[in-house]
């Protein structure tokens, strides 16, 4: 049995299948999820688990080389906007409608319990070398 890191077997297994340039969406409870990508739904109740908590856990195990968020995040959800800006200095911002279109190319969607608007990010997997 794993004793540390991500213990959810579905999420841990899905992360192990990812490769360079694959897209991973970390989203709030309201983002529409398209057919196609593997979905790991961690939502339990509104706000649980939080977007920040899930993102932090994922970034401890996942190598990324880029991130994209909705440009509306800074005005509609300043706390999330600040979190994303601090984690991703080169954060790419696009209109929310464009972000939703990007989700169709994702290999994995991780749905959190976050119930504040625009708490979504598309991560591009990197390599650790």
Active centre residues (catalytic): 20
Q: Say whether 22 counts as a known binding-site residue.
A: no
Q: Are 33 and 108 in contact (CB under 8 A)?
A: no
Residue 70 Cα distances to 3, 18, 34, 122, 123, angstroms: 35, 23, 17, 9, 13
- Report which of 37, 36, 40, 101 is spatially closest to residue 68, judged by C-alpha positions: 101
Q: Residue 118, annotated ligand binder?
A: yes
Q: Is the N-terminal amide bond of 49 cis, ω within 30° of 0?
A: yes
Which helix (H) or strand (E) segment holds residue 102: the answer is helix 96-102
Residue whose tokens read 């196609």: 36
**CA–CA distance, 124 with 67 (Å, rounded to integer):** 6
Q: Residue 96, annotated ligand binder? A: yes
**Binding positions for substrate:** 28, 96, 118-120
**Binding positions:** 28, 96, 118-120
């Amino acid at each position: 049995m794993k004793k540390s890191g991500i213990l959810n077997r579905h999420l841990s297994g899905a992360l192990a299948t990812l490769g360079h340039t694959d897209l991973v969406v970390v989203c709030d409870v309201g983002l529409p999820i398209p057919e196609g990508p593997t979905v790991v739904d961690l939502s339990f109740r509104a706000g649980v688990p939080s977007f920040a908590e899930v993102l932090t856990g994922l970034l401890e195990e996942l190598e990324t080389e880029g991130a994209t968020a909705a440009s509306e995040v800074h005005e509609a959800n300043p706390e999330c906007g600040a979190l994303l800006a601090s984690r991703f200095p080169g954060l790419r911002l696009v209109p929310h409608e464009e972000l939703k279109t990007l989700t169709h190319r994702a290999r994995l969607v991780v749905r959190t319990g976050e119930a504040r608007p625009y708490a979504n990010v598309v991560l591009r997997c990197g390599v650790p070398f």
